[in-house]
Amino acid sequence: VFGLAGLMSARGRTIAELGEFGFLSTLLQRLRGGAGVVVGPGQDCAVIRCGGRNYLYTVDALVEGVHFDPRWASPRRVGRKSFMVNASDVAAMGGRPRFCVVSIGVPPAYACRDLHALQRGIVQAARACGAAVVGGNLSRSERVFVSIALLAEAPRRLVTRRGARPGDQVYVTGSLGDAALALQQLCTKPAMEPSAALPRRLLEPSPRLRAGSFLVGSGIVSAMIDVSDGLLQDLGHICRESDVGATIRTASVPVSAAYRRVQGADRRLALSGGEDYELMCTVPVPQVQRLEAHRARLGCRITRIGEVTRSQGVRLVGPHGETVDPVTCGFDHFRSGSQ
Ligand SMILES: [Mg+2]
């Protein structure tokens, strides 16, 4: 129970001091499950039960100056990505996006042409994922923001961040680090050619809906999360929720050819950079063979990168079997929610 003493001490602090996850943990203690709440806050999506069916429900926002810079993110791409980041949370629980409502804020001087492009980006992304935009709201704001709430069909089987067990194998889809590398390049050279492969990974993420749906529906995975905040951070969420640890072989973490050309064997951005929107899952050993046999049904690569351990925390093992300190990989404990 969230006591008065906790409330008082939290009130005197700023959100920056408390941190995103610190704040959320105090908030979550006050949100109680109600009728129809199958899975409450703290997962990629909530699961709600309505009219005899389960639905996934999630919300996310993109804010100018925080999540994008208008110099390199066109209004259409901002709209598209605003939907896709929500769809990625749905993919993490194996759901099927259906309906969304949109809240947009723009300054009065914002061009109507750009607002149309923003809306087109949202509508096209929703359609591409089998969903419809069914309502919205436009408000005046100093900075552009887009907030989307997405409702999705839930799969019969529920997979959250909580099911990982010692011995389970850790897998990740696609490749990691391209988005973080693109961000690094765009921040130093904003005029970069926008059609280049790396920026596209940052500006036009493709949520792994097909893979998520298969991995959950087939019963192959024990826990899953989408990699939005970086592999180390998001694996930390699975470990905390499941009360386990994990060992990751850094050399096994999949990176693209474009990443390798720039970074060589350096996997730091792949380990700690965010915005990949890939899926990370844990697979019990008896299911590994089934996963290997059904790879083609995922629509993307999937790579085994380590395993779940009984001892807590994430341990990194380098290419020669040496232990690697996550902090040297850019892992920020102040962002990790481990306080
Ligand atoms: Mg997520």
Banded model confidence at residue 195, pLDDT cuts 50, 70, 90: low
Span of 41-45, 70-74, 194-198 with lowest mean pLDDT:
194-198
Distance 87 CA to ligand 1 centre (A): 9
Q: What is the pLDDT of residues 16-71, one digit of tens each?
A: 777 777 777 777 767 767 889 999 888 999 999 999 999 999 999 999 999 999 98
- Considering only the C-alpha atoms of the chain, give the largest distance between any 2 of them, rounded to a whole number of Å: 59
Distance 296 CA to ligand 1 centre (A): 24
Residue 80 has pLDDT above 90, yes or no: yes
Q: What is the pLDDT of residues 144-153, one digit of tens each?
A: 999 999 999 9
Distance 177 CA to ligand 1 centre (A): 17
Average pLDDT, the chain: 90
Residue 275 has pLDDT above 80, yes or no: yes
3-state secondary structure at position 68: strand
CA 240 from chain centre, in angstroms, equals 16
Distance 335 CA to ligand 1 centre (A): 15
Distance 181 CA to ligand 1 centre (A): 20
Q: Is 331 left (phi over 0), alpha (psi -120 to 50) or beta?
A: beta
Distance 93 CA to ligand 1 centre (A): 9
Banded model confidence at residue 8, pLDDT cuts 50, 70, 90: very low
Q: Which among 325, 330, 339, 332 has a CA at the least distance from the CA of 176?
A: 330
**Is the model more confident about 27 or about 337?**
27
Residue position matching structure tokens 């409330």: 7
- Distance between CA atoms of 73 and 124, rounded to whole angstroms? 17
| pLDDT given for residue 46 in this prediction | 96
Q: What is the pLDDT of residues 227-260, one digit of tens each?
A: 999 999 999 999 999 999 999 999 999 999 999 9
- Contacts of residue 168, defined as CB under 8 A and 6 or more positions apart, other chains included, come to 222, 223, 282, 283, 284, 285, 307, 308
Residues with CB under 5 A from ligand 1 (ion): 44, 89, 226, 228
Q: Which among 318, 228, 186 has a CA at the least distance from the CA of 265?
A: 318
Residue 190 has pLDDT above 50, yes or no: yes
Distance 59 CA to ligand 1 centre (A): 10
Residue position matching structure tokens 């905040």: 229
| pLDDT given for residue 192 in this prediction | 58
Q: What is the pTM of this model?
A: 0.90
Residue 1 has pLDDT above 50, yes or no: no
